[in-house]
């Protein structure tokens, strides 16, 4: 049953066993404040893939995300009694045309957002390990001493020297001995916990899982975040507010300092061409391979830059959803524009392309040191920045758990996902959905414990995110046609709804061309397969558990009574949109190829 709404549009907080209206738009803004730190998840990977074009990729992607958010703001205002975000609100537009497309939208949004937990915890675990169990640098004093003590352990006639020389043409035996001794010294002095693994095993057709120190530390961090969110959305928003202030203000100041201090090297941000190959410091050209790398950067950037749409996940928990929904997503978008424009530009302007390819930037664990370098910080300040980076990751992870768990919750309430997910504790927290997130991410955390697995998870999860965006950007015009009679507290200009429909197909281009760029040729097909898992899940819930009927109240916001899904006023247009999007994905996947 829908809640009783006051004259001013607010809904009173009430009751055990359901979400509680405890937020204003500022609270939703703070919960979504974990999105700006997502730039640090893939800033190195995008720089490696797109070279000097990296900061342009971020700007283009952020502009697209901001424009697209206006469609989401309109449809979110139509559903004051639903949680779960744009995927839920947009999914209802597709119900008339296929019962199976609606749950696909919700599912794809969830498996795109949920991995932020595992990826963020993997990076945070890396920071903790680096702080307490650092791997020594090759020029560290203890490594130099070890080399001196073992200088005679490798001779010029050693098979290892011959093997090294075969791989490094033009080098001398002394070069080989020096390099091998240095590697041996680093390995010998690396703390055992950095190489320890309880077990590792292959997951068929996916990747290798590794139960190591990163896994256990990451799991503990996830439990801490779970404990915070167990106390409800108001408590979560309060914690997020202070985390955001502590993290984002210093990040903003550090991003601005190099611009005003004259550290930007303009040669690093001009002469914009893609690299000759992924992770190559050599400039390439606008060939088919160059365009593929560029589109691959736009593909993965979307996972971060579009993410502030999570601000409308909490509509059901806003005191006054009619006015607060638009404010929450609009101001979240402005904040993201600032950070996604500024941080990539500053990093690239100071470090250059080669500096962006450093291992610590690519895997995310050395970003704090880079931030310290931007302001010429000493060791103490750098360690403070390490702590701030861990807090930034907490901020992002809390945003992801809050949003993704509510997507599961509302999907269950509306009859698309398993019924057990609709449980809510006495604080209004969807705890079973949160436990599902936690369990799913334990598996992903095992995969993401190394750099290769990290980008595998990112590339595959983003397949779901682009599918979700495609479906929901199209839902804007479908709602206009089929549900034009529904009140919209905020209505986007018609031309913007049209533009965002075009951007839906641009995203399909990114998906087809870009998914293969991240080291996994089959990422697109694995993502499609994972998306399809919702079909048997929904079929069981709807046809077996619910007898082919949706739960009472599932369609109240649309003004639909009982199981009548209404007239399909859009006719064949939604089906043509689906066919067109799929065609673009398949053609782009065939036409765009990585550099040889």
Continuous segment of H or E residues that includes residue 176: helix 173-189
* pLDDT at residue number 27: 80
What is the rounded CA–CA span in Å between residue 392 and residue 396? 6
Please say if the pLDDT value at position 11 is more than 60. no
Tell me the mean pLDDT in the region 80-90.
73
Confidence of residue 520 (pLDDT cuts 50, 70, 90): confident
Check if the beta carbon of residue 442 is closer than 8 Å to that of residue 219: yes
Q: Which of 86-100, 202-216, 306-320, 562-576 has the lowest mean pLDDT?
A: 306-320
Q: Which of 62-66, 107-111, 203-207 has the lowest mean pLDDT?
A: 203-207
Please say if the pLDDT value at position 10 is more than 50. no
Question: For residue 250, how far is the Cα from the chain centroid?
Answer: 22
Confidence of residue 116 (pLDDT cuts 50, 70, 90): confident
Check if the beta carbon of residue 530 is closer than 8 Å to that of residue 58: no
Residue count (the chain): 596
Which two tokens mark 419? 């019924």
* pLDDT at residue number 560: 64
| Torsion angle defined by CA atoms of residues 252, 255, 257 and 263, in that order, rounded to the nearest 10 degrees | 180
Tell me the mean pLDDT in the region 392-410.
81
Beta bridge partners, 209, equal: 201
Better-scored residue on pLDDT, 228 or 164: 164
* pLDDT at residue number 234: 66
Better-scored residue on pLDDT, 287 or 17: 287
* pLDDT at residue number 564: 64
pLDDT in tens, 287-346: 999 999 999 999 999 988 998 887 777 777 777 877 888 888 889 899 999 999 999 999
Please say if the pLDDT value at position 465 is more than 50. yes
Please say if the pLDDT value at position 580 is more than 90. yes
Return all residues near 381 (Cβ < 8 A) that are at least 6 apart: 372, 375
* pLDDT at residue number 4: 36
132-140 — which CB contacts under 8 Å span 24+ positions?
Answer: 133/191, 133/193, 133/194, 134/191, 135/186, 135/190, 135/191, 135/194, 136/185, 136/186, 136/189, 136/190, 137/186, 138/182, 138/183, 138/185, 138/186, 140/189
* pLDDT at residue number 109: 87
- Please say whether the dihedral angle defined by the alpha carbons of residues 264, 265, 269 and 274, taken in this order, is positive or negative: negative
Confidence of residue 14 (pLDDT cuts 50, 70, 90): very low
Look up residue 593 and give its DSSP letter: -
What is the rounded CA–CA span in Å between residue 56 and residue 151? 48
| 159 burial type by CB count under 10 A (0-12 exposed, 13-18 middle, 19+ buried) | exposed
* pLDDT at residue number 476: 94
* pLDDT at residue number 299: 94
Tell me the mean pLDDT in the region 369-385.
84
Check if the beta carbon of residue 504 is closer than 8 Å to that of residue 473: yes
* pLDDT at residue number 342: 93
Of 255, 285, 280, nearest in space to 58 by CA: 255
Q: How far apart are the first and last CA of the chain?
A: 59
Check if the beta carbon of residue 343 is closer than 8 Å to that of residue 38: no
What is the rounded CA–CA span in Å between residue 335 and residue 324? 17
Please report how many Cα atoms fall inside a 13 Å half-sphere around the Cα of residue 384, on the Cβ side. 11
Tell me the mean pLDDT in the region 267-277.
92
Radius of gyration of the chain (CA): 25
Tell me the mean pLDDT in the region 509-523.
90
The segment with the largest mean pLDDT, out of 4-8, 199-203, 296-300, is 296-300
* pLDDT at residue number 9: 40
Please say if the pLDDT value at position 45 is more than 60. yes
Question: For residue 324, how far is the Cα from the chain centroid?
Answer: 25
* pLDDT at residue number 562: 60
Return all residues near 326 (Cβ < 8 A) that are at least 6 apart: 73, 76, 77, 489, 490
* pLDDT at residue number 339: 92
* Angle (CA) 281 359 530, round 5°: 95
Check if the beta carbon of residue 59 is closer than 8 Å to that of residue 297: no
Of 180, 158, 74, nearest in space to 476 by CA: 74
Please say if the pLDDT value at position 499 is more than 90. yes
* pLDDT at residue number 425: 82
Q: Check residue 9 and give left, alpha or beta (phi > 0: left; psi -120 to 50: alpha).
A: left
Tell me the mean pLDDT in the region 375-387.
84
* pLDDT at residue number 561: 60
Confidence of residue 525 (pLDDT cuts 50, 70, 90): very high
Q: What is the mean pLDDT of the chain?
A: 85
Helical pair 367-374 and 321-356, crossing angle rounded to 10 deg: 80
* pLDDT at residue number 2: 35
Please say if the pLDDT value at position 450 is more than 80. no
Please say if the pLDDT value at position 50 is more than 70. yes
* pLDDT at residue number 559: 61
The segment with the largest mean pLDDT, out of 4-8, 47-51, 362-366, is 47-51
Please say if the pLDDT value at position 241 is more than 60. yes
Q: Say whether 197 sits in a helix, a strand or coil.
A: strand
Q: What percent of the chain has pLDDT over 70?
A: 92
Tell me the backbone φ, ψ of residue 364, rounded to 5 degrees.
90, -15
Confidence of residue 397 (pLDDT cuts 50, 70, 90): confident
Q: What percent of the chain has pLDDT over 90?
A: 37
What is the rounded CA–CA span in Å between residue 352 and residue 488? 47
Q: Say whether 280 sits in a helix, a strand or coil.
A: coil
* pLDDT at residue number 558: 64
Please say if the pLDDT value at position 452 is more than 70. no
Confidence of residue 451 (pLDDT cuts 50, 70, 90): low
Tell me the mean pLDDT in the region 531-550.
91
* DSSP codes, 297-346: HHHHHHHHHGGGGGGGGGGGGBSSHHHHHHHHHHHHHHHHHHHHHHHHHH
Question: For residue 366, how far is the Cα from the chain centroid?
Answer: 19
Residue appearing with tokens 């905020």:
490
- Please say whether the dihedral angle defined by the alpha carbons of residues 284, 288, 292 and 298, taken in this order, is positive or negative: positive
Please say if the pLDDT value at position 502 is more than 80. yes
Of 576, 582, 207, 229, nearest in space to 434 by CA: 229
């Amino acid at each position: 049953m829908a809640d009783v709404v006051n004259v001013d549009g607010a809904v009173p907080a009430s009751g055990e066993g359901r979400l509680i209206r405890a937020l204003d738009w500022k609270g939703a803004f703070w919960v979504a404040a974990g999105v700006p730190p997502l730039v640090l998840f893939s800033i190195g990977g995008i720089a490696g893939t797109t070279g000097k074009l990296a900061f342009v990729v971020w700007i283009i992607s952020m502009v697209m995300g901001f424009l697209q958010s206006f469609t989401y703001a309109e449809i979110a205002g139509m559903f004051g009694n639903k949680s779960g975000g744009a995927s839920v609100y947009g999914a209802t537009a597709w119900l008339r045309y296929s019962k199976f497309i609606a749950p696909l939208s919700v599912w794809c949004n969830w498996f795109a957002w949920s991995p932020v937990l595992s990826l963020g915890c993997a990076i945070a675990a890396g920071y903790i390990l680096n702080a307490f169990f650092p791997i020594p640098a090759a020029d560290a004093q203890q490594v130099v001493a070890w080399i001196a003590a073992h200088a005679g352990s490798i001779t010029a006639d050693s098979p290892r020297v011959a093997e090294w020389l075969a791989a490094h043409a033009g080098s001398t035996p002394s070069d080989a001995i020096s390099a091998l001794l240095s590697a041996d010294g680093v390995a010998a002095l690396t703390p055992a916990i950095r190489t320890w693994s309880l077990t590792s095993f292959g997951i068929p057709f996916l990747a290798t899982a590794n139960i190591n120190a990163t896994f256990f530390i990451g799991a503990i961090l996830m439990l801490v975040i779970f404990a915070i969110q167990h106390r409800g959305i108001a408590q979560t928003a309060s914690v997020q507010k202070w985390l955001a202030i502590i993290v984002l203000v210093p990040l903003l100041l550090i991003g601005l300092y190099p611009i005003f201090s004259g550290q930007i090297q303009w040669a690093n941000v001009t002469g914009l061409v893609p690299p000759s190959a992924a992770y190559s410091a050599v400039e390439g050209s606008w060939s088919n391979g160059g365009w593929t790398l560029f589109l691959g950067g736009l593909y993965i950037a979307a996972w971060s830059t579009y993410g502030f749409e999570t601000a409308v996940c909490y509509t059901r928990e806003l005191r006054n959803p009619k006015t607060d929904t638009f404010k929450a997503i609009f101001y979240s978008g402005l904040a993201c524009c600032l950070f996604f424009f500024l941080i990539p530009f500053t990093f690239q302007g100071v470090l250059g392309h080669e500096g962006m390819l450093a291992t610590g930037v690519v895997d995310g664990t050395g970003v704090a040191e880079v931030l310290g370098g931007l302001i010429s910080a000493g060791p103490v300040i750098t360690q403070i920045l390490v702590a701030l980076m861990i807090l930034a990751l907490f901020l992002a992870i809390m945003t992801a758990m809050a949003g993704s768990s509510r997507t599961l919750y509302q999907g269950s309430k509306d009859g698309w996902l398993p019924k057990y997910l609709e449980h809510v504790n006495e604080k209004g927290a969807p705890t079973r959905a949160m436990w599902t997130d936690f369990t799913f991410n334990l598996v992903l955390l095992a995969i993401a414990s190394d750099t290769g697995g990290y980008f595998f998870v990112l590339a595959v999860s983003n397949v779901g995110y682009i599918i979700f965006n495609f479906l929901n950007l199209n839902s804007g015009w479908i709602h206009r046609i089929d549900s034009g009679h529904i009140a919209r507290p905020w209505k986007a200009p018609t031309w913007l709804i049209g533009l965002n429909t075009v951007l839906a197909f641009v995203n399909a281009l990114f998906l087809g061309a870009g998914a293969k760029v991240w080291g996994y040729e089959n990422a697109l097909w694995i993502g499609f397969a994972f998306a399809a898992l919702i079909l048997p899940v929904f079929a069981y819930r709807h046809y077996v558990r619910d007898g082919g009927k949706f739960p009472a109240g599932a369609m109240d916001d649309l003004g639909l009574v009982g199981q009548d899904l209404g007239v399909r006023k859009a006719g064949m247009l939604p089906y043509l949109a689906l066919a067109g999007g799929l065609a673009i994905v398949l053609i782009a996947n065939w036409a765009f190829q990585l550099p040889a």
